[in-house]
Amino acid sequence: MKTLTDNVTFRHGATIKTRIVQSPMLTNSGLNEKVTQDTLDYYGAHSQSAGMIITEYTNVSPNGGPSRSWAPDREQLAVYNDDFKPGLTKLAKVLKKDGNKAILQLVHSGREAEYRHTLGGRVDVPSQMKFSWIDYPLHELTEDEVWQVVKDFGSATKRAIDCGFDGVEIHGANHYLIQQFFSAFSNKRTDYWGGSFEKRMNFPLEVAKEVFRVVNKYAPKDFIIGYRISPEETDDKNNIGYTWHESQQLLKKLTENFEFDYINLSTMDYKGGPEDVAKNYAQLLGEAIQAPTLELISGDIHTVAKMKDALNYVDLVGLGRATLADPQIAYKLANNLEDQIHLQFDEASVKKSHLTPGIIAVVANTPYFGIPGLDYLQSLSTTKLSDAVTHDGAK
Ligand SMILES: Cc1cc2nc3c(=O)[nH]c(=O)nc-3n(C[C@H](O)[C@H](O)[C@H](O)COP(=O)(O)O)c2cc1C
């Protein structure tokens, strides 16, 4: 019988003191893509939210981001050269101050690197094509350029190790470049990187190979390596990107060939599943994940009852927005303070959580969000944010 406060030891030896993990969430707190005091205040306030905290996505390549920006001077973070290391080293330190594991999420945003275009840069994609929601030019990566991105994931991993992170997560979900290569909708290539289902798996597999090469050479033995996937890309029934059947095959390959510590399923409902079978994604993809790789899921786990229920399906429970409302969930569970868990946005919780203006803006615009107090966040996001929340630590 699994419980939320179990110790969990990953296959390479790292142990966390709870099954709760903080899901990656963009804070939009970077300045010139670098960590700011705002970033550090937010993550410092979350150092007791979980046993393992996965940072927001950080760009591995100069064109790998930033994605959309909530304001011209506030961006996604990056890790594509050594200039980013001092800030990321501070970030790893604040995350680990209460004994958590700190994981750096690595991304190339591909077509979603909208703000790179605004900054005068190039936006890279697997295949040149029209997307109804994109009005900026796209560049189809050459075969060599794709290999360069693979290498960039390796260099970013080396920097994560140098900065003191306990692990990295390869972001293969949420429509970013890795998913764009895996998707039949957005990958129309006919070279090594596309043209058949097997070849559409090459990009994620080569990225994994490069990350493992770097980890095996430079990282401590217990370094944690995760991979995030969206279970299906079937939103447009006329343009299926991939189904859960294909995700199963990719996860089987990834976890047979590489010693992933965990696989992270990105969903909006941890109990959700496909239309063609009765099982949910956690169960179906769990069947493909090879032991001893652990399974983590996030999606609408916004009450303690749901946290407990999620353990019926997975090893690790991912909390995103719940940790924004209460940044001490794991601490309270471990110290018999369950009745003090405060899953509501209000003035006190926003301050305690050091929510950045960027994260408030994103969450306030997510109308299906079920945590009470969303109207409070909405009032902040439309009024003068700096009056209510920290900005560069000035308040
Ligand atoms: C403000 C915000 C930012 C997010 N940024 C990221 C991100 O950087 N990387 C990622 O993989 N997922 C990101 N997500 C998705 C979350 O990790 C999570 O999967 C999603 O919020 C569902 O979980 P929840 O219901 O517990 O919030 C973000 C979600 C939110 C609300």
- By most ligand atoms within 8 Å of CB, the mutation choice from 20, 25, 79, 297 for ligand 1 is 25
Ligand 1 center–CA 26 separation, angstroms: 7
| Residue-level pLDDT at 384 | 40
CA angle, 53 then 369 then 344, to 5°: 70
| Residue-level pLDDT at 395 | 19
Single out the residue of 233, 118, 122, 132 nearest to residue 175, CA to CA.
233
Name residues whose C-beta falls within 8 Å of residue 387's C-beta, 6 or more positions apart in sequence.
Answer: none
The stretch 82-107 carries a mean pLDDT of 97
The stretch 232-255 carries a mean pLDDT of 95
Q: What percent of the chain has pLDDT over 70?
A: 94
Q: 32-78 pLDDT, tens per residue?
A: 999 999 999 999 999 999 999 999 999 999 999 999 876 667 889 99
DSSP string for 37-82:
HHHHHHHHHTTTS-SEEEEEEEESSTTS-----SBTTBB-EE-SSG
User: Can you give the pTM of this predicted structure?
Assistant: 0.95
Ligand 1 center–CA 231 separation, angstroms: 15
Count of other CB atoms within 10 angstroms of residue 131:
11
| Residue-level pLDDT at 392 | 31
Q: Which numbered atom of ligand 1 lies nearest the CA of 300?
A: 25
Ligand 1 center–CA 23 separation, angstroms: 6
Ligand 1 center–CA 362 separation, angstroms: 10
Question: HEC profile for 236-299?
Answer: CCCCCCECHHHHHHHHHHHHHHCCCCEEEEECCCCCCCCCCCCCCHHHHHHHHCCCCCEEEEEC
Q: Which domains does the chain have, with CATH numbers?
A: 8-348 (3.20.20.70)
Ligand 1 center–CA 24 separation, angstroms: 6
DSSP β-ladder status, 8-9 and 15-16: antiparallel
390 band by pLDDT with thresholds 50, 70 and 90: very low
251 band by pLDDT with thresholds 50, 70 and 90: very high
| Residue-level pLDDT at 383 | 40
Amino acid (one-letter) located at 309: D
237 band by pLDDT with thresholds 50, 70 and 90: confident
Residue that the structure tokens 């630590």 belong to: 393
Q: 139-158 pLDDT, tens per residue?
A: 999 999 999 999 999 999 99
Ligand 1 binding residues, C-beta < 6 A: 23-26, 56-57, 105, 171, 173-174, 228, 266, 268, 298-301, 319-322, 359, 362-363
Q: 314-368 pLDDT, tens per residue?
A: 999 999 999 999 999 999 999 999 999 999 999 999 999 999 888 888 888 776 6
Ligand 1 center–CA 129 separation, angstroms: 27
The stretch 354-383 carries a mean pLDDT of 79
Exposed/middle/buried for residue 390 (C-beta within 10 Å: 0-12, 13-18, 19+):
buried
Residue 202 token pair: 């090459």
Q: What percent of the chain has pLDDT over 90?
A: 86
Q: Which numbered atom of ligand 1 lies nearest the CA of 359?
A: 1
Output the residue whose Cα is nearest ligand 1's atom 6: 25
372 band by pLDDT with thresholds 50, 70 and 90: confident
The stretch 109-115 carries a mean pLDDT of 95
Amino acid (one-letter) located at 216: N
Single out the residue of 320, 266, 251 nearest to residue 21, CA to CA.
320
Q: Which numbered atom of ligand 1 lies nearest the CA of 173?
A: 11
| Residue-level pLDDT at 69 | 74
Ligand 1 center–CA 320 separation, angstroms: 6
Beta bridge partners of 20: 317
Output the residue whose Cα is nearest ligand 1's atom 28: 25
Q: 39-50 pLDDT, tens per residue?
A: 999 999 999 999
